[in-house]
Chain A
Amino acid sequence: MEAVLPLFVILPLGTAFLVPVLSRANERVADALGNLCMAALLAMSVFALLGGGEATYWMGGWRPVAGVPLGISLVLDGLSGLMLVAVNLIGLAATVYSISYMSRFTARSRYYCLFLLMVAGMNGAVLTGDLFNLFVFIEIASVASYALVAFGCRHEELEASFRYVVLGGAASTFVLLGVALLYARTGALNMAYVASVIGGAADPPVMMALALFVAGLGLKAALVPFHAWLPDAHPSAPAPISAMLSGVLIKAIGVYALVRLLYHVIGITPVSSNILLVLGALSMIGGVFLAVGQWDFKRLLAYHSISQIGYVILGIGLGTPLGVAAGLFHLVNHATFKSLLFLNAGAVEYRTGTRELRRMGGLASEMPVTGGTSMVASMSIAGVPPFNGFFSKLAIIIACVAAGRWGYAVWAVVVSLMTLASFTKVQKYGFFDKRADRPRASEAPASMCVAMLGLAVLCLAMGALWLPSVRSVALTPAAERVVAGPAAYSSLLAEADAPEE
């Protein structure tokens, strides 16, 4: 198991290098390489999740000496396993979709190069057990995403990317300053070791680092009030990249990193738990209020991403096993239905050339696959029963009630209703309302349909993740790992300390 861990970073990094070199003669080579790489990564991540257990890989063979870690480690546990599957699953859907979609753009090989760099950064960020290494991987993923947002090089894309890179750059300095403070406090960078040195103490350097992490990673995760860049940046990118950014990037380098640092390194306290709850509720409510008035399809989806990330943070912030499991469940569900919605928006734009809902109409009959899958995704995000979004929202609300947080539960219900209203509007104007001046369109190309259908099936099937027998494989280990706190995380290190033969 350990030997697989470095491959999650090496494989996309190596392919990212090979793509521009090998696809000089024929751009189709880039398609093949990108898809093969993502398929292999998905297979490996499913294997890592189902293989269960925990594994630690020490880079370069620098194992800890007398319990003090010297080298950089990659750590696989339930939480990182779950994130790996989400990242690589959405990644594969996005590359399959790109085969047809990227014909609108030039420089296909550079696109795949940046895409794979982003995947390498995210895989590394969810696996690493080292504070500074986490910062480096976050930066790899971020820099690739800045460039991908500007990929089309039109006015709006450049403008959005500039705002994104300025705020993202500032967020990175916050994170690095937090890492430096923790190093000054503990003299170590290994997360498990830092956690055991801090031991849950709340002295000024640790609190300062906590504030810096919340601000820096909150910016990366686009929590209200740090959300200003997201509604510009996510719609401007090419559709598969929007799907990756909203679907997994803000979670892998924002939510995941925040959860890992708060729960496993600094240790969750009532104060930090309340910070998460308030930020979560603010994003949930703020995002949906801003979304309701939008007429640009992708911009509306971007605001809903803020709102749905609020649900995830709210669930995780509760700190109870049920709440954390529900938050993580909503995280993977949101990855599938939000990516699907962005792919739908891309398919509509590909055929009709518009993202303005008032200029669409009647597309459900002309683009049956796009219309049908967007219906599934809209029902999922709005929380209508047979789909996965219903189960995770219900679980979050139940968890709020069980924790005695009635106010948050009420807001979660209200926001869910407003989400439903907003997506009813999308379906009516975009896909059903047959106006006379509606655009004529045909169904999207095959590879795009395959990606959308795959994600739609997942939207239906993933409700099953909450069934007890399935949950015990995928969600419970991750949730237990989060709730167990720093002491349990540090024990991973002690296991790794066993002397070699």
Chain B
Amino acid sequence: MIYSLVFVLFLVGLYGLLTKRNTMKIVISVIIMECAVNLFLVVLGWREGGAAPIVEPGGVAGGYVDPIPQALVLTSIVIGLGVIALMVALSLRLYERYGTFDIGRIRRLRG
């Protein structure tokens, strides 16, 4: 169930990426896609009734959730932050040069 919701979220992002013309909305679409993948990773590591993965003497009754996806998500969020910062900077610079956020009117390159 939750997996299909994550997948829908990913497709929402992909749809936005392919159809939107405003550069800022395109950036937001990429953010949605990244969030969907991060959510997918977190959900992968989740265990029913699992505790936070901090090992204590004697262990805990319900076992632990898988810590590896959490580490991966942290890394992937940081990478996503870098990419998105660059994207936003680029679209602001594009606005300065072309005076528009409309990707259809930012067309000097052809062919």
| Chain A residues engaging chain B, CB cutoff 8 angstroms | 132, 135-136, 139, 143, 146-147, 150, 153-156, 158-162, 165-166, 169-170, 172-173, 176-177, 180, 183-184, 189, 231-232, 236, 290, 293-294, 299
Contact = CB atoms under 8 A, between A and B. Distances in A.
Contact of A184 (B44, B79, B111): B44
A135 B98 CA distance: 34
Contact of A180 (B27, B40, B91): B40
Contacts of B87: 162, 165-166, 169
Contact of B86 (A143, A180, A299): A143
Contacts of B98: 155
Contacts, number: 96
> Which 5 A-B pairs give the minimum distances between C-beta atoms?
A173-B33, A169-B30, A162-B90, A139-B79, A232-B109
Nearest to A189: B68
Interface in B83-111: 83-84, 86-87, 90-91, 93-94, 97-98, 106-109, 111
A170 B87 CA distance: 12
Contacts of A184: 44
A287 to B, nearest CB: 13
A159 B108 contact: yes
A188 B104 CA distance: 44
B12 interface: no
A272 to B, nearest CB: 23
A149 to B, nearest CB: 10
B60 to A, nearest CB: 20
B109 A156 contact: yes
State the main secondary structure of chain B at its contact with A: helix
B41 interface: yes
Contacts of A180: 37, 40-41, 44, 69, 72
Given A176-B76, A180-B37, A158 B10 contact: no
B75 A177 contact: no
Interface string B20-61: 000100110010011011001100100000000000000000
A150 B10 contact: no
15 contacts: A132-B72, A139-B82, A143-B79, A147-B86, A153-B93, A154-B97, A155-B108, A158-B93, A162-B90, A166-B17, A169-B33, A169-B34, A173-B10, A180-B44, A189-B68
B89 to A, nearest CB: 9
Given A172-B79, A231-B111, 11 more contacts: A139-B82, A143-B82, A158-B94, A173-B30, A176-B41, A180-B37, A180-B44, A180-B69, A183-B44, A189-B68, A232-B109
Contacts of A172: 79, 83
B90 A132 contact: no
Contact of A165 (B41, B79, B90, B111): B90
A160 B36 CA distance: 27
A170 B75 contact: no
Nearest to A184: B44
B86 A146 contact: yes
Contact of A139 (B23, B83, B84): B83
Nearest to B44: A184
Given A170-B14, A170-B17, A162 B44 contact: no
Chain B interface size, under 10 / 10 to 19 / 20 to 34 / 35 or more: 35 or more
A183 B34 contact: no
State the main secondary structure of chain A at its contact with B: helix
Contacts of A290: 111
Interface of B: 10, 13-14, 17, 23, 26-27, 30, 33-34, 36-37, 40-41, 44, 68-69, 72, 75-76, 79, 82-84, 86-87, 90-91, 93-94, 97-98, 106-109, 111
Contacts of A183: 41, 44, 68-69, 72
B86 A165 contact: yes
Contact of A150 (B90, B106, B109): B90
A136 B14 contact: no
A150 to B, nearest CB: 6
Nearest to A166: B26
Contact of B75 (A132, A160, A173): A132
Contacts of A299: 111
B44 A159 contact: no
Contacts of A135: 76
B10 A177 contact: yes
A11 B91 CA distance: 33
Given A159-B94, A162-B91, A136 B75 contact: yes
B69 to A, nearest CB: 7
A135 B72 CA distance: 11
A177 B106 contact: no
Contact of A158 (B36, B72, B83, B90): B90
Contacts of B91: 162
Nearest to A165: B87
B108 A165 contact: no
A399 B97 CA distance: 50
A111 B26 CA distance: 28
Contacts of A139: 79, 82-83
A147 B1 CA distance: 39
Contacts of B40: 177, 180
A159 B106 CA distance: 7
A294 B13 CA distance: 34
Among A162, A169, A299, the most chain B Cβ lie within 10 Å of the Cβ of: A169
